[in-house]
Amino acid sequence: MNKPAAIYARVSSDRQKENHTIASQTTALIEYGGAHGYAVPPEWIFQDEGYSGASLARPGLESLRDLAAEGQIVAVLIYSPDRLSRKYAYQVLLVEELSRCGVEVIFLKSPAGSDSGRSTGGSIPRHDRRV
């Protein structure tokens, strides 16, 4: 049975828009979700294009947080930790908030030398502490 999940993607600068577009992040995350038993309906793909990762005031992120609080998803798929936030403190805050809602945060890409893209138990994986 497919597990209900959401996707979160973000780009803020023109350079990022050229290199890692919202579409490329979303495509990779949809493929990952399908291969790992997650069901992601189109309305649960949240995107923030042109929003800084240094701020928590982002419409897509706010919608994701609302969905998690409603208890409708078991996981959120995110391309990499810096797509969630550029600030480590915000990464911790968001992962802990989602964890309290029963949502596992799964990063598709992790920094070099990391051992896991999963974040469980309300903490950022060890490799993200260098962000």
Beta-strand runs (E) in 40-111: 45-49, 75-78, 104-107
Q: Which residue has the tokens 């992040």?
A: 25
Q: Of 101, 69, 127, 22, nearest to 118 (Cα)?
A: 127
- Asked if 13 is an active-site residue, the reply is no
Residues with catalytic function: 12
